[in-house]
Amino acid sequence: MKVQRFNEHSLSTSILDDFIDSLRMPVNEASGEDSNYKQIEKKVIKDLKLNLSIVGTFGAGISAMYPIVEGLIKNMEINIDLTPEKVVLLTIAAFTITYLEEKKSKMDPNKEASLTKDCKSMLEELKMSGIGNGIVKKVIEGFKSIKNIFSLIGKHMGAIVGGFVDMFAYASLAIPLLHAVAAIIGKYDLTLDSLPGNFLGLASGIGTLIAKHGITDILNRLKGKLPFNKKKVIDEIDTPIIQKFGDADIEQDGNLIKEEQ
């Protein structure tokens, strides 16, 4: 048991070190991979006749999620022919369902019905392509684990984040962090099953780091990254862009994803 605990501690420390180091890596928003994903995104939305205005609203954030979802699925030993089209569809579906679950009571009923219809269409398409509701649920749980890391850092800067979707109000901080998450997933072969536990350790390590050095240490590691600059992050925290679509909240019964029999 002592050896196991030592190994777990050692792994958590390594993940923390690499996560912090990854924050120094430049974010290239115009990379070929991002461009390919965006082209596929447009095709998927057109082919399924989706009316997803939130894809436009959260475009940069959703684009940053594609390599994360792809890495988590590829690292799992499951029989899925994971194409870029499936990655895009799975990411948008999980993001939209999360949006529906987190935003309540303020959205126009017609918009709510439209988003719900789109979600059901995406879930059905995913099922036919070999990706069941169980995988979608795990992706959503993975989103929540990522949100916990953001919340831990953001709260020390005054960022109010109630759910996963809220963190995209602070894009200048969220995008670099998502790129760091993608790097960690790739290096440590994290999966949808192992992500939550490992990110608990990462959160603990970040908390200790902030207690010792303060949030400024993490902010300094983000200097020079695109689109990050400290003033912009502070400005976004003072007036988060989520206020611009605050009337797009949705009430949802939580039964959109049904358990597979």
The string of pLDDT tens digits covering residues 10-33 is: 778 899 889 888 877 666 544 445
Residues 158, 176 contacting (CB under 8 angstroms): no
**CA-CA distance, 122 to 116, in Å (whole number)?**
10
Angle value at C-alpha 152, between 146 and 154, nearest 5 degrees: 100
Is 30 part of any domain? yes
Is 111 part of any domain? yes
Is 221 part of any domain? yes
| DSSP SS3 for 224 | coil
Task: Name the pLDDT band for 229 (thresholds 50, 70, 90).
Answer: very low
Task: Name the pLDDT band for 5 (thresholds 50, 70, 90).
Answer: low
The CA distances from residue 149 to 40, 146, 211, in Å, are 29, 5, 15
Arithmetic mean of pLDDT over the chain: 78
Is 254 part of any domain? no
| DSSP SS3 for 108 | coil
Is 252 part of any domain? no
Give pLDDT tens digits for 122-133. Answer: 999 999 999 999
**pLDDT (mean) for 240-252:** 36
**CA-CA distance, 235 to 179, in Å (whole number)?**
22
The CA distances from residue 9 to 16, 199, 201, in Å, are 11, 12, 8
Show the domain range for 9.
2-246
Give pLDDT tens digits for 164-188. Answer: 998 888 888 888 889 999 999 999 9
**pLDDT (mean) for 121-145:** 95
Give pLDDT tens digits for 71-96. Answer: 999 999 888 889 999 999 999 999 99
Give pLDDT tens digits for 46-79. Answer: 898 887 788 888 888 899 999 999 999 999 988 8
Task: Name the pLDDT band for 105 (thresholds 50, 70, 90).
Answer: low
Residue 29: enclosing H or E segment and its boundaries?
A: none
**CA-CA distance, 170 to 180, in Å (whole number)?**
16
Question: In the chain, how many domains are there?
Answer: 1
Task: Name the pLDDT band for 239 (thresholds 50, 70, 90).
Answer: very low
pLDDT at 23: 79
Pick the more confident residue, 233 or 14. Answer: 14
pLDDT at 251: 35
**CA-CA distance, 27 to 150, in Å (whole number)?**
17
Is 256 part of any domain? no
Tokens of 43: 């095709």
Is 227 part of any domain? yes
Q: Which of 187, 180, 164 is nearest to 228 (CA)?
A: 180
The number of residues making up the chain comes to: 261
Tokens of 80: 């899925």
Angle value at C-alpha 145, between 200 and 35, nearest 5 degrees: 130
Is 257 part of any domain? no
Angle value at C-alpha 133, between 130 and 137, nearest 5 degrees: 125
Residue with tokens 């115009």: 30
**pLDDT (mean) for 226-241:** 45
The CA-to-CA distance between both ends of the chain, in Å, stands at: 37
Residue percentage of the chain with pLDDT more than 90: 33
**CA-CA distance, 149 to 160, in Å (whole number)?**
13
